[in-house]
Structure 1
Amino acid sequence: MNRRNLLRSAGALVGITAAGGAGYAAHEGGNRYYNGPVSDHFDGVRFFNPDGAAPKGFGDLWKWRREGERQVWPENIPLSATAKPAARVDDLTITMVGHATMLIQMDGLNILTDPVWSERASPVSFAGPKRVIAPGIAFEDLPPIDLVLLSHCHYDHMNLQTLTRLQQTHDPLVITPLGNDTIIKGTGLKTQVMDWGQSASFKHTSVHCLPCHHWGARGVKDRSMALWASFVLTSPKGAVMFIGDTGFDKGRPYQGLASLGPIRMALLPIGAYAPEWFMADQHQNPAQAVEGFRIMGARYAVGHHWGTIQLTDEGRNDPAIALHQALEAQGVEATRFRPLQASDVWKVPPI
């Protein structure tokens, strides 16, 4: 494999960039994952961020790899103990598994976000970004899983091995944006596919699929053929927002949420942002996460997408440090926005 193709493949593996420039060339035969009408965020072949920046191209990827200042992470961080969740929780508890994987126990339901229990964020077991800390909940200690929120198809968020294990042991429903159901079809999981602006009911909870500023790919020729999204859960216990990945995009992912009621908990990404000239259009930094938290008027927030898998240049603890600095600078109590580490449990206070 030549250097150009190696860089292209490496970018697609970790969900940072793929080949190509700002424009999109039509894939031979059309979209391999989704066949639907043109919309304000789908051109008939690929999805896009309306009025937003397109993913960076190969030239920028090469510049970053050539000029970046990648910090050294520890190879392994011992996990002293794993969390052992209750079978059901009446109110609201968040348990950190790692990266963007969290267990939401809410009003009697058990919900997983972007579940990854594999050692690497990669299509192969022998290469690709490797986790430096074990999952905060052993897979065998999971309570009965009712629902999975799957935000997009990058390898650090969509892990087919984990999804197959979940189908075999829990058989949950997966709610995911357009096109992603095709990618996970082989797992045998039940899926409900949603477009931006759509809502669905699951038992006594409503799930709302909302825009965020990102993209998706599983290889070098399928960029943006499956949609990405954030979710808001609403139930009698309050509203919970989950964003797997997003660029800040002038705060647009955090606007217009008033109709969903007060957000009791927001699960927001705070990592994989350095260097910002390259990452800003797809990964917000901690200060932007705090600003988004304030825009939406959430009461509490968890900072995720840091400390588990090294995707970008910042040091392992840099996002947590920067989050505390941003909270202080923006006048937000540190107890309201916590950067959870693997196995941390937060019993969320009521609003």
Structure 2
Amino acid sequence: MKRRSLLTAASAATVMTLGGVGYAVHRRGRNPYYRGPTSDHFDGVRFFAPGQVVDKAQVVDKAQVADKTQAADKSLGDVVRWKAERGGTAWPKRYPSPFTADRPPERVLDLRVVLIGHASYLVQVAGRNILIDPVFAARASPVRFAGPKRVNPPGIAMADLPPIDAVLITHNHYDHLDGPSLARIWQAHQPLVVAPLGNDAILRGYDETMHVETRDWGSSVDLGDGVSVHLTPAYHWSARGLNDRRMALWCAFVITSPEGVHYHVGDTGFGDGAIFRDVRTRFGAPRLATLPIGAYEPRWFMQAQHMNPADAVAALDLLGARQALGHHWGTFKLTDEGIEAPAEALDAAMDQAGQPRARFLALRPGQVWES
């Protein structure tokens, strides 16, 4: 395993302590992770989502002129303002799940989903076992002494994982890409690892033998047994430190199988809703959508890259998904809302939409969903 300098690691931990947002240090330079042709979402150095405002200078809406808050890239001044204004709700040191740690079956022919914690899932479908953004670390951080600390244990112990066929990584933030855990999973299971462009360089920094298939938005990977995974856009960003912002791609995933369509988003802003409409147009209404519902306050700072529960309910409506499960809450404190606020706000948003609460569940670690 390659070692980073303590200074670089501590800087990255500081970024995560600031809610996984950080501030932009725009140096043209070279991209240390990826070299490839320019496209409608890559300028030769940095990735971006078409239609997503990344630079505050792009904001022209008169309603935003005074503040220009909707850009994904934040300045150091924005971070200082957030810290100065921060009146967030404190979290308890422990928030144990009411569900006992799951011991999954070795294989499932239909569809079984369990939340490991935060944004980490085990998806068992059509005989394939798939991990999404597996984070088993005590902190969402590159170091053990700083960064957001988990307040409940993983909903599956790593030793209790069934044979893992594939690992899907949505993006490289430390609450989604846990390098040491991935190295252990690789050594134990030798899964196919699928990630967006540029993330292979990061992953192989933890184990140079790891086999990583990187793809661009719009591309697909066959996982076997009639199961495929498709990379689709998200309104988010990436960084492992202070100087590599948006130099590795991020994505959402669509898993297609004989058991239907499963749409998974690690992190995204709602934007204009086009990314959700496009998924429904291309793949049809999903059987299941797993959507983030946390890390959204304050809105002026988080809105461009993190949905709140009302946004997630609006996304569910555009997708037409039969069932939704909510994640990205209740394990790592990244932003200002209280620990139970996302689940409470989700219920309120479903009530407001005239939808049964059971159609969109805020999962807790170890909680299993089976259709």
Structure 1 residues 15 and 196: alpha-carbon distance in aligned structure 2, compared to 1, 3 A threshold: farther
- From 316, 326, 330, the equivalent of 1:303 is 326
> What residue in structure 1 maps to residue 118 of structure 2?
99
User: What's the CA shift for 1:18?
Assistant: 2.9
> Is 1:26 aligned with 2:28?
yes
Structure 1, residues 124-159: CA drift from partner, whole Å, max 9, x if none?
Answer: 011110000000111111111111110000000001
Which ranges of structure 1 fall in alignment gaps of 5 or more residues? 1-5
Following the alignment from structure 1 to structure 2, what is the Cα–Cα distance between the partners of residues 191 and 210?
A: 18
Between 12-21 and 85-94, the greater mean CA deviation after superposition: 12-21
User: What's the CA shift for 1:332?
Assistant: 1.6
- From 10, 15, 21, the equivalent of 1:11 is 15
- From 199, 214, 217, the equivalent of 1:193 is 214
Structure 1 residues 294 and 263: alpha-carbon distance in aligned structure 2, compared to 1, 3 A threshold: same
Query: When the two structures are aligned, how many residues end up with a matched partner?
Result: 340
The 5-angstrom pairing of residues 101-120 of structure 1 reads 101-120=120-139
Q: Which amino acid aligns with 1:25?
A: R
SS at match of 2:20: coil
Structure 1 residues 8 and 206: alpha-carbon distance in aligned structure 2, compared to 1, 3 A threshold: closer
Coordinate RMSD, CA, aligned: 1.7
The answer to whether the Cα contact below 8 Å between 2:97 and 2:364 also exists between their aligned partners in 1 is: no
The answer to whether the Cα contact below 8 Å between 1:12 and 1:220 also exists between their aligned partners in 2 is: no
The 5-angstrom pairing of residues 123-202 of structure 1 reads 123-186=142-205, 187=207, 188-202=209-223
User: What's the CA shift for 1:7?
Assistant: 8.1
Structure 1 residues 341 and 79: alpha-carbon distance in aligned structure 2, compared to 1, 3 A threshold: closer
User: What's the CA shift for 1:253?
Assistant: 2.1
> What residue in structure 1 maps to residue 240 of structure 2?
218
Q: Which amino acid aligns with 2:220?
A: S
SS at match of 2:254: strand
Following the alignment from structure 1 to structure 2, what is the Cα–Cα distance between the partners of residues 118 and 8?
A: 16
> Is 1:71 aligned with 2:89?
yes
Which ranges of structure 2 fall in alignment gaps of 5 or more residues? 1-9, 55-72
Following the alignment from structure 2 to structure 1, what is the Cα–Cα distance between the partners of residues 168 and 345?
A: 27
TM-score, normalised relative to structure 2: 0.88
Q: Which amino acid aligns with 1:170?
A: H
> What residue in structure 2 maps to residue 260 of structure 1?
283
SS at match of 2:272: helix
The answer to whether the Cα contact below 8 Å between 2:151 and 2:331 also exists between their aligned partners in 1 is: yes
Following the alignment from structure 2 to structure 1, what is the Cα–Cα distance between the partners of residues 176 and 295?
A: 13
TM-score, normalised relative to structure 1: 0.93
User: What's the CA shift for 1:12?
Assistant: 4.9
Following the alignment from structure 1 to structure 2, what is the Cα–Cα distance between the partners of residues 194 and 15?
A: 27
> Is 1:335 aligned with 2:354?
no
> What residue in structure 2 maps to residue 37 of structure 1?
37
Between 292-301 and 196-205, the greater mean CA deviation after superposition: 196-205
- From 58, 69, 72, the equivalent of 2:76 is 58
Structure 1, residues 245-302: CA drift from partner, whole Å, max 9, x if none?
Answer: 0011111220122231330111100000000110000100000001001101111011
Following the alignment from structure 1 to structure 2, what is the Cα–Cα distance between the partners of residues 12 and 224?
A: 15
Identity of aligned residues (%): 48
The answer to whether the Cα contact below 8 Å between 2:11 and 2:242 also exists between their aligned partners in 1 is: no
Runs of 4+ in 1 over 6 A off after TM superposition: none
Following the alignment from structure 2 to structure 1, what is the Cα–Cα distance between the partners of residues 290 and 245?
A: 25
Q: Which amino acid aligns with 2:75?
A: G
SS at match of 1:255: helix
